[in-house]
Structure 1
Amino acid sequence: MGRPSKYTQEFRRDAVELVRSSGRPINEVARELGMSHETLRNWVRKQEQQASGAGSAVQAGAGLSMADKDAEIAQLRAEVAELRQEKEILRGGRLFRQGDGSVTSRFRFISTHRGVHGVKRLCRVLAVSRSGFYRWVAGEPDRQARAAAEDVLAAQITAVHAASGRTYGSPRVTAELRDQGVQVNRKRVERIMRRHGVVGRHQRRRKRTTIPDPTAPAVPDLLGRDFTATAPDQRWCGDITYLRVGDRFLYLATVIDIATRRLVGWSINSHMRAELVIDALDAAVAARGGDVAKVVFHSDRGAQYGSAGFAEACRRHRIRRSRGRIGSSYDNALAEAFFATLKRELDVEHRRWTSEADARRDVFRWIAFYNHRRRHSALGYRSPADYERTLETVTLQQSAA
């Protein structure tokens, strides 16, 4: 019997859909998912062969790709922004002539029109000193250099913010810039973001989806709100949340490694039965190579986690169960925080999915971003995958010593 795959059928299906819908190269998507590009290429080829055999081949190259459309929209938005800025500049000049300009705008007006009206007359009419104007002129090269440097930094900030799906606030933008070798402090990043209207997404309250089952067999709380671990696969936690799709819901169950904050297993379905959390647990075990004996899995007291089926799955994988108190979100705070981040950064408050396929694709894309690229404040602003590699390196060094 061959070695079982660490990728579930659900993961394979969603990975292929991500390649198909994004229009990006397979090796780029594979790198984002932390997997071999050849493996992903084989999955895509297999699906294409199956689709061809069923007579459902899709004509390639018809119309613009999503990436082309996004680029075109971005260009149009940039052009609109430029036109708006030009309009504001013209409007500012009109207000200035009515006497609403600052001292700096007066100096600029004088500099522009001194060839026509003369410095002395302009300074007298606009009630500014000639010596002050000439000091302002002498400082122009330094101001231009500072402004140019700020424009470069603003462009870098905008690029980092866009790469995060427009979710990062100033702390994560600062961390990303420093990792790229840009020496900048958070206050300056925050000021430039505010000036350019670059805003991260803010957390919103969410509803609970798990229904407590007070009659379930007693399971001890092995964490006691201590959501720390020194190495991967010591402690896991998980929960369930909902995603609105049209007039119904999809449900997402998760398994998070507490040491690295990595989402090691998940499952999405249209029901909240025990099979949902069992599938997520099985996916996490497969992702970790099949041997997770003695790992602690912590959950709330929802009925799914108290079911006989979930208890049997934990026994099968030799996982130790841990459960918080009824109605206490703090007893499963890490899982709650993960869902708050997911819903904030996917903007589910305003997003309206019309199909299950669209919702699955967007969630899968965000999970790949979260695991491999998103900077986590609790991990020193490193991604879960990067932090996990750091812990593994330390463990190997300690073993060698």
Structure 2
Amino acid sequence: MVKDQGLSIVHVCQSMDLVDSVVRRWIKQHEAELEGQPGIGKPLTAEQQRIRQLEAENRQLRADNDPIKKSLGLLCARTEMTYRLIHQLQQKAVPVQQACRVLAVSRAGYYQHRRRGERKADVVASVQLKAAFVASGKSYGSRRLCRALQAQGVIIGRYRVRRLMREAAVRPVWKRKFIHTTDSRHALPVADNVLDRQFDVAAPNRAWVSDITYVRTRQGWLYLAAVMDLFSRKVVGWAMAPTMPAELVASALCMALQQRQPPRGLLLHSDRGSQYASLGYQALLEQHGIVCSMSRKGNCWDNAVMERFFLNLKMERVWQRDYANHGEAQRDIADYIVSFYNCTRLHSTLGYLPPAAYEQKMAAILPIGVSENT
């Protein structure tokens, strides 16, 4: 209007409500541009320049991403791949909210997909857990089941095992029955408590423990005498009979002596029952150079390791059976000792190894000179 129509700057500013100085600057800039000069416009601040640079970069990123986003649907299952990518980013400390926003998916959808995956994994783990539980004779708790599954290569923690056990109604069987098997009211001599609850032993065949328990059958009571090596908690000798004379504990000891061939000086601990204080049993100990140790009167804790074995035997096998006669009970108890307790059952004191496996492991790492005949 000023240059082409010849109107005055004042008239143009009044008619269009403009500032006089602004119009004069525009005219000077226009004239400078016509002459090929950069003009005299107000330069951008550093902050404005940075904003325009970021806007340009953002436009470039959108232009680069659009073809990729349009191609994902043709190349693969986009949603499944996106959720997997979010999971990987989460492991690298990238927040889920940020990853979902960048990849244009909803957080609710991602969490729902993860829950579906966890449910599928729980179904598989639950089947493996039930199989391990049945294999243990329905006796393992959460700790041993966790170790058993981990030994099979299943990545699982104890609290997840507890949850799966609760959901599957899996729990060990507990029952309690009690009768007395020890008669310490006798005039026979008793030995001192040499063991003194020192249950941790550095090498095999240094300290054994022995005791008697009972098993109910339809034919009547069956009594079990057993001998255990404290080093590996392995049952090395046992005997069963419908009565419990001194010959019962002597038979269990003879079986242990034949299997282990211990050196003289072995310590053998028991309670002070009449069977263990009998002349025949004491003569057998003296013959093989075995040091006798007996619990204090009425103190079951002095022989706690053997008492625990008997409790495990009854929880894990005997109380789950209804034995028709003595023969059936003898076969089943022998199978428990040989096949399960000594060779399969995980023992917490041994680092969750079976006694037989623990002895093999320790035999490889024990120092020279520390052996069964040390």
Partners in 1 of 2:263 and 2:217 — Cα distance?
Answer: 34
What is the deviation of 1:334? 1.0
Which of residues 314, 317, 327 in structure 1 aligns to 2:285? 314
Return 5+ residue gaps in structure 1 as ranges. 1-133
Aligned to 2:253: 281
- Whether 1:395 aligns to 2:366 is yes
Distance 1:334 1:291, change over 3 A: closer
Contact in 2 for aligned 1:209/1:240 (Cα 8 Å): yes
Which of residues 360, 372, 378 in structure 1 aligns to 2:330? 360
Partners in 1 of 2:177 and 2:323 — Cα distance?
Answer: 20
Contact in 2 for aligned 1:234/1:295 (Cα 8 Å): yes
SS at match of 1:239: strand
SS at match of 1:182: coil
SS at match of 1:264: strand
- Whether 1:371 aligns to 2:371 is no
- Whether 1:384 aligns to 2:355 is yes
Partners in 1 of 2:194 and 2:276 — Cα distance?
Answer: 15
SS at match of 2:342: helix
- Whether 1:169 aligns to 2:141 is yes
Identity %: 37
Deviations 1:240-278 (A, max 9, x none): 011112151111000000111000000011111000000
Aligned to 2:295: 324
What is the deviation of 1:135? 6.6
Partners in 1 of 2:328 and 2:158 — Cα distance?
Answer: 36
SS at match of 1:322: strand
Look up the equivalent residue of 2:334 and give its one-letter code.
F
Partners in 2 of 1:333 and 1:159 — Cα distance?
Answer: 31
What is the deviation of 1:166? 0.9
Aligned to 1:259: 231
Partners in 1 of 2:307 and 2:180 — Cα distance?
Answer: 9
Which of residues 242, 252, 258 in structure 2 aligns to 1:270? 242
SS at match of 1:372: coil
SS at match of 1:176: helix
What is the deviation of 1:169? 0.6
Aligned to 2:96: none
Contact in 2 for aligned 1:205/1:340 (Cα 8 Å): no
What is the deviation of 1:182? 2.1
What is the deviation of 1:218? 3.3
Contact in 2 for aligned 1:203/1:341 (Cα 8 Å): no
Distance 1:138 1:257, change over 3 A: closer
SS at match of 2:366: helix
Aligned to 2:24: none
Distance 1:391 1:196, change over 3 A: same
Aligned to 1:342: 313
Partners in 2 of 1:328 and 1:139 — Cα distance?
Answer: 57
Distance 1:186 1:138, change over 3 A: closer
Contact in 2 for aligned 1:253/1:267 (Cα 8 Å): yes
Contact in 1 for aligned 2:219/2:326 (Cα 8 Å): no
Aligned ranges for residues 283-302 of structure 1 at < 5 Å? 283-288=255-260, 290-302=261-273
Which moves more between the two structures, 156-165 or 274-283?
Answer: 156-165
Partners in 2 of 1:239 and 1:395 — Cα distance?
Answer: 29
Which of residues 164, 185, 191 in structure 1 aligns to 2:157? 185
Partners in 2 of 1:240 and 1:151 — Cα distance?
Answer: 44
Partners in 1 of 2:317 and 2:287 — Cα distance?
Answer: 35
Look up the equivalent residue of 1:364 and give its one-letter code.
A
Look up the equivalent residue of 2:176 and give its one-letter code.
R
Partners in 2 of 1:195 and 1:376 — Cα distance?
Answer: 26
Look up the equivalent residue of 2:325 and give its one-letter code.
S
Deviations 1:194-253 (A, max 9, x none): 111111233635333121144221312111122120111110001001111215111100
Contact in 1 for aligned 2:226/2:238 (Cα 8 Å): yes
Partners in 2 of 1:388 and 1:273 — Cα distance?
Answer: 32
Deviations 1:158-213 (A, max 9, x none): 11111101110100001112222222211111111111111123363533312114
SS at match of 1:229: coil
Deviations 1:264-307 (A, max 9, x none): 0000111110000000000001111x343211100000000000
Look up the equivalent residue of 1:355 and give its one-letter code.
N
SS at match of 2:208: strand
Partners in 2 of 1:375 and 1:307 — Cα distance?
Answer: 36
Look up the equivalent residue of 1:276 and give its one-letter code.
L
Partners in 2 of 1:255 and 1:399 — Cα distance?
Answer: 22
Look up the equivalent residue of 2:345 and give its one-letter code.
R
Distance 1:156 1:260, change over 3 A: same
SS at match of 1:207: coil
Distance 1:398 1:140, change over 3 A: farther
Q: CA RMSD in A?
A: 2.0
Return 5+ residue gaps in structure 2 as ranges. 1-105
Contact in 1 for aligned 2:265/2:291 (Cα 8 Å): yes
What is the deviation of 1:344? 0.8
Which of residues 192, 200, 215 in structure 2 aligns to 1:228? 200
- Whether 1:142 aligns to 2:114 is yes
